[in-house]
Structure 1
Amino acid sequence: MEIEGAVAVVTGANRGIGLAFTRALLARGAAKVYAGVRDPARAQEPGVTALPLDVTDDEQIAAAAEAAADATIVVNNAGIQAGVALLDGTLEGARREMEVNYFGTWAVTRAFAPVLAANGGGALVNMLSVASWRVNMRWPGYAASKAAEWSLTNALRVGLRPQGTLVVGVHVGFVDTDATAGVDAPKTAAGEVAALTLDALGRDEPEVLVDEVSRQVRAALSGPVELLEPAR
């Protein structure tokens, strides 16, 4: 997939990994980048086109697909961590995580798949996590939503192949963003996530394992279940 001259849509683009993607795409010569955000006033990055896009709002999704009818790359980055405990409290936060991370990705993809097809196939990038595969005691609802999103990504890879769309799943451990400010663990810079993903996109690779922990956990999927538990 050629980045130079491409037209990209990035959801959750106003900060963190989404903002890093918008910057990296522009730096590599993308002709246009639509920044999908719930509040367009917060999309102040020079060179981007703000696009009102709440991934849980069907009307906004449809309007975004119409406005960005020239898109050749869609980056499903929007996501939340609600911090739901495993055995205490309500499950409302976990329902929101599933609604945004899983159903939101699915809804955006459904709307933009015909757009990508009309523009030659293009590419769909889903921002996943090592939590797709690994036990996460701190954020079990988030991990479950990412596991569901990984399964969806695999289905989309097969389903969109006939129209020539490359589907890319991106896995990484902790990334240095606002969401992980309270986490005392090694973190990957958001810019590195974006850079390595665009490198892989340029090579037409369907999966990106950004850091060592994602590579180790991916390799452990065929091993004993204990290997998928977090280190103590």
Structure 2
Amino acid sequence: MNINTSVALVTGANRGIGKAFVEALHQAGAKRIYATARNIDSLKDIVAIDPERIIPIAIDITNPDSITTAAQSLQDVNLLINNAGVLGTGGFFNSTSLETAHWEMETNYFGTLYMIRAFAPILKRNGGGAIANLLSISSVVNVPVFGSYSASKAALYSLTQGARAELAQQGTLVVGIFPGPVDTAMSDGVPLDKVPPSQIALATLQAVEQGIEDVNPDPVSQEVFAGIRQDPKAVEKQFAGMLPQ
């Protein structure tokens, strides 16, 4: 699909990669961009870039009623970018591990599932369109310092594959993006080289235009996937070594 003829919806658009997506869509000439976040007031800065083309919408992706209400009025969407997500810390065995795991799974997996279910019929009516899901290198290898986050992103990877299969008949492209560490507030303290959010957004939009299903948008991502193809157990052990001794 052509980005300059798209009507896009971006979740978690108030900061980080989501904000970079809105900026990249605007620069690429998208006809309309629905910038969404739980708190609509947090979108003021991004909307100020172009209030006529960037429209703020309140969506809580963990609340199906919130999504349904928004979808009823956003019938022109043909590009859905599922960016919103959360990241906890602490591994699997501290006192808040279960609460953290539920929070991450409800947002990163179920929230994206809710969005896809609500907007897939709209995409179908608009010719198929595309869905882009923000995954992670932790979708394919567990990063133990973010264990349950990794599990939620692995679930999202499986969802992405399943949605791709089920939506192929309606002509919907489903893209998975697998960044390594990105220079956002969410990745503070991650001891790896980071890339700017704009790099993720631009690589994703290029993939959508070219019909590419899986995107490795940065050197860390490319290295991890190359390592998995060669020796997945070695990659697992490498990341296990991140745990403090």
Q: Into which bin does the TM-score normalised by the smaller protein fall? A: over 0.9
* Structure 2 counterparts to residues 1-232 of structure 1, below 5 A: 1-44=1-44, 45=46, 46=48, 47=50, 48-90=54-96, 91-222=98-229, 223-230=231-238, 232=241
Q: CA deviation at 1:199?
A: 1.1
SS at structure 1 position matched to 2:5: coil
- Equivalent-residue separation in structure 1 for 2:131 and 2:110 (angstroms): 16
Q: CA deviation at 1:50?
A: 0.8
Aligned length: 232
Separation (CA, whole Å) in 1 of partners of 2:65 and 2:238? 40
Normalization by structure 1: what TM-score?
Answer: 0.96
* Deviations, residues 105-160 of structure 1 (Å, cap 9, x unaligned): 00100000000000000000000000001121111010000000000000011110
Distance 1:211 1:229, change over 3 A: farther
> Contact 2:142–2:151 at 8 Å: present in 1 too?
no
CA contact (8 A) 1:172 1:209 kept: yes
Secondary structure of residue in 1 paired with 2:190: coil
Q: More deviation in 222-231 or 78-87?
A: 222-231
SS of match in other structure, 1:43 = helix
Q: Distance in 2 between matches of 1:67 and 1:92?
A: 34
SS in 2 for 1:18: helix
Q: Does the C-alpha gap of structure 1 residues 28 and 224 become closer, same or farther in structure 2, counting only changes over 3 Å?
A: closer
Q: Distance in 2 between matches of 1:125 and 1:101?
A: 14
Amino acid in structure 1 at the alignment position of 2:115: V
Which shows bigger deviation, 213-222 or 30-39?
213-222
Moved more, 60-69 or 212-221: 212-221
Q: TM-score, normalised by structure 2?
A: 0.91
Report if aligned partners of 1:134, 1:229 keep a CA contact under 8 Å in 2. Answer: no
Q: How far apart are residue 76 of structure 1 and its match?
A: 0.3
Q: CA deviation at 1:215?
A: 1.8
Note the C-alpha offset of 1:172: 0.8
Higher fraction of helix: 2
SS at match of 2:3: coil
CA RMSD of aligned residues (A): 1.3
SS across alignment from 2:8: strand
